[in-house]
């Protein structure tokens, strides 16, 4: 995806020490990931790459807002997001690949760029709360008219279930009585 190319950092020419990179994340970023939970958002990403002799540490700070859908009232709301993560890239020969873990990304000889798109995508999606409520993460009240509507729907459902269940129970009772 072309839009993701801007999140690559060529590191081979960097001097040892710390280097600062800034990125913007918007809806086009999330469009590039089909399975992204977050579809919309506006965030600033600051990456500090610390280049050492055998490894590179990427300190990532992400701040901004993502659009979430409230689990209670189905309203879309803006949730403030702040993330701090660290990732280690390690130079290594091919035969040492077995050492790679979730926290350590292995850099083989022919890799010349660090791709931050995937880590940024994962950080943002993992930060999405399991239970999303506009009253909690969005600081706004739930949509009252929607709540009323959902309430009406669920009580209608219950009534319909009752009506559907009754004839079946009646039929079963008749069978047992025979």
Q: Which residues bind Zn ion (CB under 5 A)?
A: 70, 72-73, 75, 134, 142
d(CA 86, CA 47): 10
Cβ proximity to Zn ion: between 52 and 139 the closer is 139
Cβ proximity to Zn ion: between 62 and 70 the closer is 70
Cβ proximity to Zn ion: between 36 and 75 the closer is 75
β-pair type (55-69, 113-115): unpaired
Nearest residue to Zn ion on Cβ basis: 70
Nearest to 121 by CA among 58, 10, 15, 31: 31
Cβ proximity to Zn ion: between 56 and 70 the closer is 70
Question: From the CB of 25, what's the least distance to Zn ion, in Å?
Answer: 25
d(CA 152, CA 100): 54
Question: From the CB of 63, what's the least distance to Zn ion, in Å?
Answer: 24
Question: From the CB of 70, what's the least distance to Zn ion, in Å?
Answer: 3
Per DSSP, which regions of the chain are E strands?
8-10, 17-25, 41-51, 55-69, 76-91, 104-107, 113-115
Question: From the CB of 73, what's the least distance to Zn ion, in Å?
Answer: 3
Cβ proximity to Zn ion: between 67 and 72 the closer is 72
Query: How far, CA to CA in Å, does 15 sit from each of 10, 11, 34, 49?
Result: 12, 9, 36, 11
Nearest to 128 by CA among 49, 35, 47: 35
Question: From the CB of 134, what's the least distance to Zn ion, in Å?
Answer: 4
Cβ proximity to Zn ion: between 67 and 142 the closer is 142
Question: From the CB of 78, what's the least distance to Zn ion, in Å?
Answer: 12
Query: How far, CA to CA in Å, does 7 sit from each of 1, 17, 57, 167?
Result: 11, 20, 16, 62
């Amino acid at each position: 995806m072309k839009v993701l190319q801007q999140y690559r950092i060529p590191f081979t020419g960097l001097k040892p020490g710390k280097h600062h990179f800034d990125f913007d994340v918007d809806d086009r970023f999330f469009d590039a990931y089909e399975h992204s939970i977050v579809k919309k958002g506006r965030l600033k990403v600051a990456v500090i790459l610390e280049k050492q002799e055998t490894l590179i540490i990427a300190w990532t700070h992400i701040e901004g807002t993502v659009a979430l859908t409230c689990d209670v009232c189905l309203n879309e709301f803006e949730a403030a997001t702040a993330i701090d993560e660290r990732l280690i890239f390690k130079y290594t020969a091919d035969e040492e690949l077995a050492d790679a873990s979730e926290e350590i990304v292995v850099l083989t000889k022919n890799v010349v760029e660090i791709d931050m798109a995937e880590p940024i995508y994962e950080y943002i999606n993992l930060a999405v709360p399991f239970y999303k409520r506009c009253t909690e993460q969005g600081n706004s009240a739930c949509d009252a008219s929607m709540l009323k509507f959902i309430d009406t729907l669920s009580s209608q459902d219950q009534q319909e279930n009752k009506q559907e269940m009754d004839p079946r129970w009646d039929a079963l009772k008749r069978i047992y009585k025979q």
